[in-house]
Amino acid sequence: MSLMRDDVAHRPARSWNPLTLALLASLWLATASNWPLWRSLLDLPENSGGHGLLFAAGFAAMVASLTFVLLALLAWRRSVKPAIAFFLVSAAACAHFMGSYGVVIDPTMMTNVVQTNATETRDLLSLRLLLSVVLLAGVPMLWLLRLPLQRLGWAGQARRNLLGVAGGLAVLAALVFALFADLSSTMRNHKQIRYQISPLNAFYSSAALLRAAQASPGGPPSPIGLDARLMPPAVASRPPLFLLVVGETARADRFALNGYGRPTNPRLSTLDVVSFRDVTSCGTSTAASLPCMFSHLGRGGFGARQQDHEDLLDLAQRVGLAVLWIDNQSGCKGLCERVPKVHASEGAPPGLCIDGECLDEALLHGLDDRLAALPAERRARGVLLVMHQMGSHGPAYWRRSPADGKPFQPECETNALQQCDVQALGNAYDNSIVYTDRVLAGAIDWLKRQRSTFEPTMLYVSDHGESLGEKGLYLHGLPYSVAPREQTHVPMIVWTASPQRTQCLAALRDQPLSHDHLFHSVAGALGIRAAEYRADLDLFAACRAP
C-alpha cells in the first residue's frame, strides 16, 4: 500500500510531449517575438482595415507553421528544450534590433554582425536588449523549460515528429494557396518583410553567409569560340550591324502584332517587321533568363551546366567584332563584364531620366557617337549592339511610359497591384507596351540611317513575361515548372534591311521558338562560325541571301 501511495505521490501531474512544447514555442515565436514584423506588415498601406488584419493573421499562422516544422525536427527529449531556448533568444535579439533600429536581418546585416568589433558590440548591448531577451525569451523559457517531458521511445517520438512536420507543411501549403495573391504582391513590393521573420531570418542569413564563404572562388568563365572565325559579309563591303534589344517583362499576348485586340503597336505595325508569335523564355525572372539567353547551351544545357562559360558577347569580341552593351536597368547580370558598356543615363537629355532612372528612349540617345567611339578596325568587321530595356518592369507600370504616350486611361498608379482594378492595371501595362513600340520603331529608324555603311538587323526579345492578375497571380518569378504561360510567353520581333530576307523569316512566324535560338541566330547573322554554333537553332540560317 505504502509503495502505491508513494508511486502516486511522485508521479508528475502531467508530462508533456516534446512536440507539444515545440508547438507552444512556435505560437509564441510567431506572435510576441515577431512584434516588429507585425508592426511593419500592418503599417503597409495595402494592409489597412479588416482585409489587412486578416492577411496578417494568416501570415502569422504561416510563420508559426514554418517555425513549428523546424522545431518538430528537433523535438526530442534531450534536444527540444535547448532548441527552443536557442530559437527564443535569437528571436528576442532580432526583435530588439529590428524594433529599435528599423533594420532587417538579411545576409548583408549578418555580414555586419560578423565583422563588427568589440566597441560596436558594446554600444549595441543595452538595457533595452536585456529587457527584450527577458520578456520575449526569459518568461516563456521559465515556464516551458520546467515542464516534465514524456518518454515515448525513439520510434514513437520519430513517428510523432514526422506527423508534426507533415501537418505543419500541410497547413503552410494551404495558407500559401489561400493567401497567394496578397502574399506574392507583399513579398515582391516589400522584399524586406521576409528578412523580418525571426528567428528564421537570422538562421537563413547565417546559412547564406556560410555558403558564400564555402563557395569556390570560381575564377573566370571557361572560354568559348576558341576556333571561331568570321564569314565574309553577305553584302559585299558592308559589315553587319546587329542591334539586339533585350526587353523587360513584356508579354507576347499584349502585342497587337500578335493578335491582341488593342492597338499596342501603332508604329511597328506600319513597318516591315516579323513578329514571332510562339516564343518561350528560358526563365521567369531577369536573373534566370538573361545568362541563359546569352549562353550557347540553351535552357536544358544551361540548367545542367557544371561550370560557367563565356557568353555571346565574349564570342563576338573574340572574333574581332565591336561590341557595346547599353543598359537602362540596374545591370547586365555579369554578361557584359568583359565588353564595353555604358548606362543609358550617361549623356541622356533632361526629361528622360529622374534620379538616374530613365525612360527607354534614353537608349536611343547619342547612338551615332556611341557607334563612332567603338574601335574602327572592329567596326569594319561588324558591330553587335545590345540595349537592355526597362520595358514593362513592374509593379510601377505607369512609370514606364511618358505623359504623352499613355493612350489607355485610367492607369493603376499603386504598387499594391491586387488593389487595382483589372482594367486600370491593364491600361498601365499596355501603355508600357505602346512605349516599347515607340522605342523599337525609333531604333529601326536609326538603323535605316546606317545602311550606307552597314547591313543592319534588329532583334527584340523579352526576358520573361508577367502575370497581371490571372489566376490571382501578379508579377513574375514563379518556379518554371509551375509558371503560367503569361510569365514565359515572350514577344520576339525582327527587322532586317532586306524585304526578301524579312519575307523569308515570316515563314517561321508561327513556329514554336525559344530563347535557345537567340545565341545561334545572333552569331549566325553576324557571320560567326564556331564549334558552339548550331545552324539548326539559327533563325536566319535559311534566309541568308540578301
Q: Which residues bind Zn ion (CB under 5 A)?
A: 248, 286, 463
With H, G, I as helix, E, B as strand and everything else as coil, classify residue 407. Answer: coil
**By C-beta, is 248 or 516 nearer to Zn ion?**
248
**By C-beta, is 288 or 525 nearer to Zn ion?**
288
Helix or strand run (H / E) with residue 100:
helix 80-101
**By C-beta, is 249 or 521 nearer to Zn ion?**
249
Residue 284 Cβ vs Zn ion, minimum distance, rounded to whole Å: 9
Report the residue number whose CB is nearest to Zn ion.
286
> Are the beta carbons of 390 and 359 closer than 8 angstroms?
yes
> Is the peptide bond prior to 233 cis by the omega test (within 30 degrees of 0)?
no
**By C-beta, is 47 or 286 nearer to Zn ion?**
286
**By C-beta, is 251 or 381 nearer to Zn ion?**
251
**By C-beta, is 95 or 246 nearer to Zn ion?**
246
169: cell is 507543411
Residue 50 φ/ψ region, left for φ over 0, alpha for ψ in the -120 to 50 degree band, beta for the rest: alpha
Residue 286 Cβ vs Zn ion, minimum distance, rounded to whole Å: 3
**By C-beta, is 284 or 498 nearer to Zn ion?**
284
Residue 389 Cβ vs Zn ion, minimum distance, rounded to whole Å: 9
Residue 461 Cβ vs Zn ion, minimum distance, rounded to whole Å: 12
277: cell is 508569335
Residue 477 Cβ vs Zn ion, minimum distance, rounded to whole Å: 9
**By C-beta, is 110 or 390 nearer to Zn ion?**
390
Q: Is the dihedral of CA 190, 194, 197, 201 positive or negative?
A: negative
With H, G, I as helix, E, B as strand and everything else as coil, classify residue 358. Answer: strand
Q: Which amino acid is at 139?
A: V
136/158 Cα distance (integer angstroms):
29
CA atoms within 13 A on the CB side of 402: 15
Residue 264 Cβ vs Zn ion, minimum distance, rounded to whole Å: 19
| Beta carbons within 10 angstroms of residue 406's beta carbon | 18
Torsion of CA 314, 315, 318, 320, to 10 degrees: -110
Strands 341-343 and 322-327: parallel
424/430 Cα distance (integer angstroms):
10
> Are the beta carbons of 32 and 38 closer than 8 angstroms?
no
217/219 Cα distance (integer angstroms):
6
* H helices present in 216-311, as ranges: 286-293, 298-303
39/61 Cα distance (integer angstroms):
16
Residue 15 Cβ vs Zn ion, minimum distance, rounded to whole Å: 55
Residue 112 Cβ vs Zn ion, minimum distance, rounded to whole Å: 29
Residue 176 Cβ vs Zn ion, minimum distance, rounded to whole Å: 24
**By C-beta, is 430 or 463 nearer to Zn ion?**
463
104: cell is 532587417
**By C-beta, is 286 or 401 nearer to Zn ion?**
286
**By C-beta, is 310 or 463 nearer to Zn ion?**
463
Q: Could you tell me which residues come within 8 angstroms of residue 238 by beta carbon, excluding any fewer than 6 positions away?
A: 453, 454, 455
443/433 Cα distance (integer angstroms):
15
Residue 311 Cβ vs Zn ion, minimum distance, rounded to whole Å: 17
333/335 Cα distance (integer angstroms):
6
Strand partners, 325: 341, 386
Residue 464 Cβ vs Zn ion, minimum distance, rounded to whole Å: 5
Residue 399 Cβ vs Zn ion, minimum distance, rounded to whole Å: 15
**By C-beta, is 187 or 506 nearer to Zn ion?**
187
Strand partners, 240: 455
